[in-house]
């Protein structure tokens, strides 16, 4: 898979085959981000926009919930820059880097603070998404992007 272009995507967790999901489709600040079986709802659609920060190799982007259409309405973040920190919904802008893996998937790493922290599902029996220290080749930290739609111009 090539690097995702701007658009609306589902983000599949490689280790469980579940989708990144906005719990209860709620945009309340601090709502837990989870994985869930594919249900085709907007809670599992994420708007990708490339961010061209100086010094990057064009692998930096923002990922926002598509809950409010192509305007997006929030991202995911953590309260602390630490391993095993829950990933939650926030209205603040948040930028991530994608690191391509051998199996057409990506690690999603945070660009602020500890660059070794990536989005992870450390326990496949629980749906909570957390930050964890990157472990090369670990499918609990790998995500696949599947395009749903193009972004529509904002009127």
What is the predicted pLDDT for the residue at 25? 86
Predicted structure pTM score: 0.86
What is the predicted pLDDT for the residue at 121? 92
* 95-124 pLDDT, tens digit each: 788 888 878 899 988 766 677 888 899 887
What is the predicted pLDDT for the residue at 81? 67
Mean local confidence (pLDDT), 120-145 = 88
Q: Which CATH class is domain 7-149?
A: mainly beta
Domain ranges of the chain: 7-149
What is the predicted pLDDT for the residue at 16? 94
CA-to-CA separations, 35 to 55, 127, 132, 150, in angstroms, rounded: 32, 5, 16, 23
Other CB atoms closer than 10 Å to residue 98's CB: what's the count?
20
* 7-56 pLDDT, tens digit each: 899 999 999 999 999 888 888 888 889 999 999 998 999 888 887 655 55
């Amino acid at each position: 898979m090539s690097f995702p272009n701007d658009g609306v995507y589902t983000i599949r967790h490689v280790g469980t085959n579940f989708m990144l999901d906005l719990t209860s489709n709620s945009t309340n600040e601090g709502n837990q981000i989870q994985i869930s079986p594919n249900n085709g709802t907007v809670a599992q659609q994420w708007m990708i926009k490339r961010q061209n920060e100086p010094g990057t190799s064009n692998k930096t982007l923002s990922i926002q919930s598509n809950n409010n259409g192509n305007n997006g309405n929030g991202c995911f973040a953590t309260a602390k820059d630490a391993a095993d920190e829950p990933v939650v919904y926030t209205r603040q802008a948040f930028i991530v880097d994608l690191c391509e893996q051998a199996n057409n998937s990506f690690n999603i790493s945070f660009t602020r603070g500890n660059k070794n922290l990536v989005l992870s599902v450390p326990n496949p029996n629980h749906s909570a998404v957390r930050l964890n220290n990157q472990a090369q080749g670990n499918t609990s930290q790998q995500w696949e992007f599947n395009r749903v739609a193009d972004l529509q111009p904002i009127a």
